């Protein structure tokens, strides 16, 4: 290849710095800039169509996105052949291709390398950083047109970000994720997302956070059944109060405790309340140490206690009420005020 001496010298210098063919690409870019269009890939919009060379079953052929109509497609981009994170992702997806196949889902990998580079990488043993036998097509987008259409192209590097697109059987994009170059993706999460989108399509119900097949979903016409089942309750919330604190179940139990005329402290709280969670270790510790005082709690969100708490005048939480001889004694203390609570407990004995 003929080059002007000055250009040849520049390329040679860059080759030392960047190494090989990629170095020439870096230098050539300074002489001519290619302008790519904006992304055409958006959730709920048709996936940009393409027809491109690909390696399929160790042969170079052509892949046409339209040929996959009627199936789910997971199209994932990766930056570069013969690198480090990329083979771990591609192998992970390829090794589980049959699981996606059972869900009527095809996997397509794509980078801005040539198909010849893909083929050489596939023929390289895995122990030497190669891909080995592949169960999925790997598309060669050396013109970078596909990466540009899908909005994953890093122009100054000429490589694709780790973009992933779930496309439904109608050719519409259901989901997009985008990782920066150094971090790979989770095959389990992609599989879960495909299952979730298919469940919604088949049953019309929607899938909450972290949903997996067999778990509860939400009927949009009556979500009360889902939320009423306690599906959103946290195990941490349920254990907010310690074993030395009496958890009042209803108004009757509250009145019975007050009627004992013992020294009593009642914490009105809510499981979602940040300050309630902050003060609970102190309250539990106090209850364990002071056996001469009864410590109790009222969950203001509980069905049998919500109205009672409101009628009792509780308008701030946490709200600590102190009782002596069957009557309220001293001021109500609200918020995260450990010293004031401890002092008021001592005041019950004066």
What average pLDDT does the structure give for the chain?
88
More confident site: 60 or 233: 60
Cβ burial of 275 (10 Å; 0-12, 13-18, 19+) is middle
SS3 at position 138: strand
Confidence label for 238 from pLDDT (cuts 50, 70 and 90): low
Q: Average pLDDT for residues 329-333, to the nearest whole number? A: 94
Dist CA 113 CA 142 (whole Å)? 5
- What distance in Å separates the CA atoms of residue 121 and residue 129, rounded to the nearest whole number? 8
pLDDT band at 13 (very low <50, low <70, confident <90, very high): very low
Query: Average pLDDT of 126-141?
Result: 96
- More reliable by pLDDT, 180 or 31: 180
Could you give the residue numbers annotated as active site? 86
Phi/psi of residue 235, each to 5°?
Answer: -65, -30
pLDDT at 167 over 90: yes
Strand segments (E) across 286-329: 294-299, 319-324, 327-328
The closest of 304, 340, 348 to 323, measured between CA atoms, is 348
pLDDT at 234 over 90: no
Q: What is the pTM of this model?
A: 0.62
Long-range contacts of 42-48 (CB under 8 A, 24+ apart): 42/173, 42/176, 43/173, 43/174, 43/175, 43/176, 44/172, 44/173, 44/174, 45/172, 45/173, 46/171, 46/172, 46/173, 47/73, 47/75, 47/165, 47/167, 47/171, 47/172, 47/173, 48/146, 48/149, 48/150
Asked if residue 161 has pLDDT above 70, the reply is yes
Mean pLDDT of 69-93: 96
Residue 196 clears pLDDT 80, i.e. is over it: yes
Confidence grade of residue 17 (pLDDT, cut at 50, 70, 90): very low
Predicted confidence at residue 228, as pLDDT, reads 61
Q: Is the peptide bond before 318 cis (omega within 30 degrees of 0)?
A: yes
pLDDT above 60 for 4: no
pLDDT-derived band at 31, boundaries 50, 70, 90: very low
Per-residue 3-state assignment (H helix, E strand, C coil) for 8-57: HHHHHHHHHHHCHHHHHHHHHHHHCCCCCCCCCCCCCCECCCCEEEEEEC
| Cβ–Cβ under 8 Å, residues 314 and 259 | no
Among candidate residues 346, 338, 188, 168, the one with its CA nearest the CA of residue 267: 338
């Amino acid at each position: 290849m003929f080059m002007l001496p000055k250009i040849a010298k520049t390329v040679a210098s860059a080759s030392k710095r960047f190494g090989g063919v990629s170095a020439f690409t870096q230098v050539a870019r300074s002489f001519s800039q290619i302008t790519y269009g904006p992304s055409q890939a958006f959730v709920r919009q048709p996936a940009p169509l393409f027809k491109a060379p690909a390696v399929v079953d160790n042969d170079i052929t052509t892949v046409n996105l339209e040929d996959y109509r009627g199936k789910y497609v997971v199209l994932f981009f990766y930056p570069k052949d013969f690198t480090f994170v990329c083979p771990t992702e591609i192998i992970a997806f390829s090794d589980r291709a049959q699981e996606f196949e059972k869900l009527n889902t095809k996997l397509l990998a794509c980078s801005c390398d040539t198909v010849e580079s893909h083929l050489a990488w596939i023929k390289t043993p895995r122990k030497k950083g190669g891909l080995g036998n592949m169960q999925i097509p790997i598309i060669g987008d050396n013109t970078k047109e596909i990466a540009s259409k899908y909005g994953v192209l890093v122009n100054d590097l000429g490589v694709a970000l780790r973009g992933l697109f779930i496309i439904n059987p109608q050719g519409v994009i259901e989901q997009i994720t985008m990782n920066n170059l150094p971090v790979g993706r989770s095959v389990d999460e992609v599989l879960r997302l495909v299952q979730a989108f298919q469940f919604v399509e088949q049953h019309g119900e929607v899938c909450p956070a972290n949903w997996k097949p067999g778990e509860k979903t939400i009927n949009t016409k009556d979500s009360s059944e889902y939320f009423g089942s306690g599906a959103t309750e946290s195990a941490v919330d349920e254990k907010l109060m310690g074993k030395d604190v009496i958890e009042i179940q209803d108004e009757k139990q509250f009145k019975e405790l007050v009627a004992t005329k013992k020294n009593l402290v009642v914490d009105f709280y809510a499981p979602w309340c940040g300050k309630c969670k902050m003060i609970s270790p102190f309250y539990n510790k106090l209850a364990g140490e002071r056996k001469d005082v009864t410590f109790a709690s009222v969950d203001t969100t509980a069905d049998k206690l919500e109205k009672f708490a409101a009628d009792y005048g509780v308008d701030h939480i946490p709200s600590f009420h102190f009782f002596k001889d069957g009557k309220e004694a001293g001021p109500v203390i609200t918020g995260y005020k450990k010293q004031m609570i401890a002092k008021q407990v001592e005041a019950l004995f004066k």
